């Protein structure tokens, strides 16, 4: 498959993700994803039901070609997921677990839509809606969109990559030490409170 371009709004951070059977389009309705998007401003990132489209993938399919120095890493709490962002312009890039041994990255649609083919063309139809219980409005279930009650099942599915040889190929971590390639900034209590308050308000 052809690599699909990854780009922040301002164009400093650029790279690609290669579609494979391990990549699928999902929508996550959890408060954490929404709080992250709202913390960054989040215009046009959250849909009317409070969902965010994500391409679930593996770090080994991800490449950065330019601007890696502008990458920043946030977390909503000291043990929360790592939430990657283009520090140059605040474009959310994706989420990963804290350890590279869990070979998962969820890429937000916001970094996959600039100078790029439509997401269905590269990654196929939407496969799953996760954490629909936290949606801001009822989420209609369609045959193509089997709702799962929790995001964890998806992560478990993708953990097929865990401890397989591929996990060491990860542009977001120094895999020898298990540390992220940039320092993790944990939101302050006040920032966190503001982000979650914004996450509970409707409107995109």
Site for Zn ion, rule CB under 5 A: 8, 10, 12, 28, 30, 33, 86, 88-89
Q: Return the DSSP state at 187.
A: P
Nearer to Zn ion, 89 or 182 (CB): 89
Instruction: Give the separation between CA 20 and CA 45, rounded to whole angstroms.
Output: 24
Return the number of the residue (175 or 196) whose C-beta is nearest Zn ion: 196
User: Which residue, 10 or 175, has its beta carbon nearer to Zn ion?
Assistant: 10
Which CB atom, from 87 or from 180, has the smaller least distance to Zn ion?
A: 87
Give the Cα separation of 20 and 58 in Å (integer). Answer: 9
CA distance 175 to 181: 9
> Least distance in Å: CB of 193 to Zn ion?
19
In the complex, least distance from residue 49 CB atom to Zn ion, rounded to whole angstroms:
13
Smallest gap from Cβ 29 to Zn ion, in A, equals 7
- Measured in whole angstroms, how far is the alpha carbon of residue 2 from the centre of its chain? 20
Smallest gap, in angstroms, from Cβ of residue 54 to Zn ion?
A: 8
- Answer whether 64's CB lies under 8 Å from 13's CB: yes
């Amino acid at each position: 498959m052809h690599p699909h371009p990854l780009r922040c709004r301002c164009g400093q951070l650029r790279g690609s993700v290669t579609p494979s059977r391990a990549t699928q389009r999902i929508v996550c309705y959890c408060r954490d994803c929404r709080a992250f998007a709202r913390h960054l401003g989040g215009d046009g990132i959250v849909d009317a039901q409070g969902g965010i489209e994500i391409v679930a993938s593996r770090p080994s399919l991800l490449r950065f070609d330019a601007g890696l120095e502008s990458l920043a890493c946030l977390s909503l709490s000291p043990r929360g997921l790592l939430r990657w962002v283009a520090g140059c312009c605040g474009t959310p890039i994706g989420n990963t677990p804290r350890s590279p041994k869990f070979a998962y990255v969820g890429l937000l649609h916001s970094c996959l839509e600039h100078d790029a083919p439509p997401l269905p063309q590269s990654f196929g139809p939407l496969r799953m809606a996760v954490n629909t219980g936290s949606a801001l409005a009822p989420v209609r279930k369609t045959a193509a969109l089997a709702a799962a009650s929790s995001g964890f099942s998806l992560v478990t599915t993708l953990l097929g990559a865990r401890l397989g040889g591929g996990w060491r190929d990860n542009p977001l971590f120094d895999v020898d030490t298990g540390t992220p390639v940039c320092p993790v900034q944990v939101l302050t209590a006040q920032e966190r409170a503001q982000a979650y308050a914004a996450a509970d308000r409707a409107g995109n």
